[in-house]
Amino acid sequence: KATRIAIIPGDGIGKEVMEEAIKVLGYIEEYDSTLQIEVKIFPWSSDYYLKHGQMMPDDALETLAQYNAILFGAIGDARVPDDVTVWELIMPIRKQFQQYVNFRPIKSLPGISSPLANGGDIDFVIFRENAEGEYSNSGGRIYNNQPQEMTIQNTVMTRIGIEKIVRAACDYAHKNHKTKITSSTKSNAIIHSMKFWDEHTKKTLAKTSPKLQLESIYIDALVAYFVERPQDFEVVVASNLFGDILSDLGSAIVGGLGLSPSANINPEREYPSMFEPVHGSAPDIAGKGIANPIAQIWSLALLFGHIGRPDVEELIVTAIEKVLREGIVKTADIGGRATTKEMGNAICEAIVAM
Ligand code: NAI
Ligand code: MG
Task: Say if ligand 1 is within 6 A of residue 8 CB.
Answer: no
Note whether 154 and 136 are within 8 A (CB): yes
CA of 352 to the centre of ligand 2 (A): 33
CB count in 10 Å sphere of residue 69: 22
Closest atom of ligand 1 to CA, residue 296: 18
3 state SS of 105: strand
Give the pLDDT confidence score for residue 217 in this predicted structure: 98
Task: Say if ligand 1 is within 6 A of residue 79 CB.
Answer: no
H/E run at residue 298: helix 294-306
Q: Which of 9, 1, 87, 2 is nearest to 44 (CA)?
A: 9
Give the pLDDT confidence score for residue 114 in this predicted structure: 92
> What are the residue boundaries of the structural domains of the chain, listed by start?
1-105+262-354, 114-254
Spatial separation of the C-alpha atoms in residues 311 and 354, rounded to whole Å? 12
Three-state SS sequence of 186-205: CCCCCCCHHHHHHHHHHHHH
Ligand 1, pocket-test mutation among 75, 84, 257, 320, most atoms within 8 A of CB:
257
Task: Say if ligand 1 is within 6 A of residue 253 CB.
Answer: no
Task: Say if ligand 1 is within 6 A of residue 76 CB.
Answer: yes
3 state SS of 213: strand
CA of 233 to the centre of ligand 1 (A): 26
Give the pLDDT confidence score for residue 119 in this predicted structure: 87
Task: Say if ligand 1 is within 6 A of residue 292 CB.
Answer: yes
Give the pLDDT confidence score for residue 32 in this predicted structure: 87
Q: Which CATH superfamily is domain 1-105+262-354 in?
A: Isopropylmalate Dehydrogenase (3.40.718.10)
Task: Say if ligand 1 is within 6 A of residue 295 CB.
Answer: yes
Closest atom of ligand 1 to CA, residue 284: 11
Give the pLDDT confidence score for residue 1 in this predicted structure: 82
Task: Say if ligand 1 is within 6 A of residue 334 CB.
Answer: no
Spatial separation of the C-alpha atoms in residues 310 and 61, rounded to whole Å? 27
Task: Say if ligand 1 is within 6 A of residue 280 CB.
Answer: yes
Burial class for 145, CB neighbours closer than 10 Å (0-12, 13-18, 19+) = exposed
Closest atom of ligand 1 to CA, residue 283: 28
Q: Hey, whose CA ends up nearest to atom 26 of ligand 1?
A: 280
Task: Say if ligand 1 is within 6 A of residue 278 CB.
Answer: no
* Tens digit of each residue's pLDDT, the chain (354 residues): 899 999 999 999 999 999 999 999 999 998 888 889 999 999 999 999 999 999 999 999 999 999 999 999 999 999 999 999 999 999 999 999 999 999 999 999 999 989 998 888 999 999 999 999 999 889 999 999 999 999 999 999 999 999 999 999 999 999 999 999 999 999 999 999 999 999 999 999 999 999 999 999 999 999 999 999 999 999 999 999 999 999 999 999 999 999 999 999 999 999 999 999 999 999 999 999 999 999 999 999 999 999 999 999 999 999 999 999 999 999 999 999 999 999 999 999 999 998
Instruction: Tell me which fold the domain 114-254 belongs to.
Output: Isopropylmalate Dehydrogenase (3.40.718)
Task: Say if ligand 1 is within 6 A of residue 274 CB.
Answer: no
The pairing of strands 261-265 and 273-277 is antiparallel
Closest atom of ligand 1 to CA, residue 277: 41
Note whether 320 and 297 are within 8 A (CB): yes
Spatial separation of the C-alpha atoms in residues 236 and 219, rounded to whole Å? 11
Give the pLDDT confidence score for residue 333 in this predicted structure: 95
DSSP 227-262: HH-GGG-SEEEE-HHHHHHHHHHHHHHTT-GGG-EE
Q: Which residues surround ligand 2, an ion (CB under 5 A)?
A: 244
Interior/surface letters 113-135, b for 16+ CB within 10 angstroms, e for the rest: ebebeebeebebbbbbbbbbbbb
Spatial separation of the C-alpha atoms in residues 254 and 259, rounded to whole Å? 8
CA of 33 to the centre of ligand 2 (A): 36
The pairing of strands 101-107 and 261-265 is antiparallel
Spatial separation of the C-alpha atoms in residues 233 and 276, rounded to whole Å? 23
3 state SS of 352: helix
Interior/surface letters 268-307, b for 16+ CB within 10 angstroms, e for the rest: eeebbbbbbbbbbbbeebbeeebbbbbbbbbbbbbbbbbb
Q: Which of 135, 152, 239 is nearest to 195 (CA)?
A: 239
Spatial separation of the C-alpha atoms in residues 225 and 298, rounded to whole Å? 26
Asked whether this chain's domains 1-105+262-354 and 114-254 adopt the same fold, the reply is: yes
CB count in 10 Å sphere of residue 207: 12
Task: Say if ligand 1 is within 6 A of residue 279 CB.
Answer: yes
